[in-house]
Structures are given as structure tokens and as C-alpha cells.
Amino acid sequence: MRRVKVSKGIEKYLEERKILVDKALKEFMPEPSGLAGDVIRAMNYTLFAGGKRIRPVLCIAGSEAVGGSADDVVPVACAIELIHAYSLIHDDLPVMDNDDFRRGKPTNHKVFGEAVALLAGDSLLTLAFNLMASYGLDKNGEKKALLRVIDLIASAAGYKGMVGGQMVDISYEGKDPDPTVVEYIHRHKTGALIAASVTAGTILAGGNEEEVKSINRYGQQIGLAFQIADDILNIEGDRNVMGKGIGSDKVRGKITYPSVFGISESKNIQTRLIDHAIESLNRFDERAEPLRDLARYIIKRKG
């Protein structure tokens, strides 16, 4: 197995962009108040309970790769993080994965109860679309690109993407490992939103169609590699870094890359995906360097 080297600079890049995203999220999020304050409290709880902010950072990096800036895309990058937070809350519910801990903290329903957690997820999802629509209403011009991005993100989050992947994931629990099914689950459950994040950044920054296509290909490849890395961390990860239980996939009979291909071959597949992702960026100059480093980081991360 070949070792992949991650540049030290990527950690600084991630940290700086994460600070920017966190600041914007704080500005966008409502304070818990009024009769419905409990649901706002629950939304804020998961949104600010840690998290790497990898999807919004990818959105920013997708913009920067074609000469755009973080400012051009921050509202959309934040909207994507709201969608991600919703998916985690719902994923942890007893009717889904029934997890008690995430990011080292009790899951949303453990703190607020199942009904409030369900509503908090629903309102994070809907708030994401409010945020993108009001950004469009504020902006002069470029509305077509924004509508295209909203359409892309809605598809990636819904039955054609994340929800579809989750559907197959839960319906195949306990069934025989199958390579076609596991690829479908991972590309949809996790890969779709990751690919949409980086592609959205490129579209909003005015990337041309060839650039958008290449970035989308890159996103699909790192998206699949990201979930394979998650499968491997569920076996080899450190509970303290992960902030959640290890080994849960096996207990639940989940179809994962290691259950289909074994750990060693899963690592080889990951490395090949990252190589292909980086090749997709051949036509880009040094402004795409963070994307190349993010691809390598995705399979080297510890949590």
C-alpha cells in the first residue's frame, strides 16, 4: 500500500476557512427566543457542537480554484453545513442509527428529546434554503448561477442523493456485502453532498463548463473516498478523536467497503480515488492546490 503525504499547510488553510465559516454561521443563526425557542436551541446545539466544516471549506476552495473568493460563496457554504447538521441529527435518531454520542457530546435527541430533534433537523434543512434564497434576493445579478446551485444542492440532499443513499443503507443492514450496493450507498449518502459543495463553489465563482465538470468529477471521487475513510475509521479509529463509538457498523451489519473488500483493499481503492481526483484537476493552476491537499487530507484524517 502506497503512503499518501499531506501538506502541513492544509491544516492552516482548513483552520482559517473554518473560522470564517463559524463566524458567518453565528451571524446567520437566530438566537433561541420566543415560543418556539426550544427548536432554535436544538438547531444551534448540533450546529455548534464541533465539526470539521469540510463541506463549506470545499465550497470555498471550489470557488478559489477558479479565482473566486470565500465571500462569494459563504452563504451557500453555510447553507450546506446546515443541511449536513440536519442529516446528522436525523441519522442519530433511534429510528435510524440510534446513536447516543457524536463529536464526543450527547446526540441531539438525547438532550432535547426525539420530537424536538426531528423538528430541529427539519428546520435546519429548510433554513438552508431560506439562506440561499435571501442571498439571491440581496445579490445583484448572478441569480442564474445561484438558482443552478440551489437545484444542485437540493438534488444532492434529497432522494436522488443523500436521502436515497440513507434509504439503501438502512434497507441493506444485515444483508450480504455487495460491491454495487455499497458503492451506491456511499456515492449517494455521503458523496453527493460533498460533490455538490465543491461544485457549487466553482459555479458561483463563474467557472466555465469544463471547469465545473472537472471539479464535479473531483468531488465525486473525494466524496466516495471520504465515506470509505469513515468506514475504516469505524474499525481502526480512536474513540477519543472520533467522539463516537467504534465498531458500530459491524454490530449493525452495515454494508461497508471493509465488509465487502477487506481493510487493505479498501485502503487501495481510497488511494486510487484520490489519485483520480487530483488528476481531474490537471487543467487547474496553483489556485487549486488546496483542493489537491484536501483530497489527500480526506483519507489521512483521524476523525
Sheet strands (E) in 26-162? 101-102, 105-106
Nearer residue to ligand GRG within complex by CB, 41 or 101: 101
Residues forming contacts to ligand GRG in the complex (CB under 6 A) are: 51-52, 54, 84, 87-88, 90-91, 103, 162-163, 166, 189-190, 227, 230
**Measured from the CB of residue 168, what is the shortest distance to ligand GRG in angstroms?**
11
Written in H, E and C, the secondary structure of 271-298 is: HHHHHHHHHCCCCCCHHHHHHHHHHHHH
**Measured from the CB of residue 34, what is the shortest distance to ligand GRG in angstroms?**
26
* Pairing relationship of beta strands 101-102 and 105-106 according to DSSP bridges: antiparallel
User: Which of 259, 137, 128, 124 is CA-nearest to residue 200?
Assistant: 128
**Measured from the CB of residue 108, what is the shortest distance to ligand GRG in angstroms?**
12
**Measured from the CB of residue 88, what is the shortest distance to ligand GRG in angstroms?**
5
Nearer residue to ligand GRG within complex by CB, 144 or 160: 160
Nearer residue to ligand GRG within complex by CB, 41 or 103: 103
User: Which of 201, 192, 200 is CA-nearest to residue 160?
Assistant: 192
Nearer residue to ligand GRG within complex by CB, 51 or 290: 51
Nearer residue to ligand GRG within complex by CB, 64 or 230: 230
Nearer residue to ligand GRG within complex by CB, 17 or 84: 84
Q: How far apart are CA 213 and CA 152, in angstroms?
A: 13
Cell numbers for 298:
480526506
**Measured from the CB of residue 208, what is the shortest distance to ligand GRG in angstroms?**
29
Q: How far apart are CA 75 and CA 117, in angstroms?
A: 24
With beta carbons less than 8 A apart as the criterion, state whether 146 and 132 touch: yes
**Measured from the CB of residue 258, what is the shortest distance to ligand GRG in angstroms?**
14
- Phi, psi of 103, rounded to the nearest 5 degrees: 50, 35
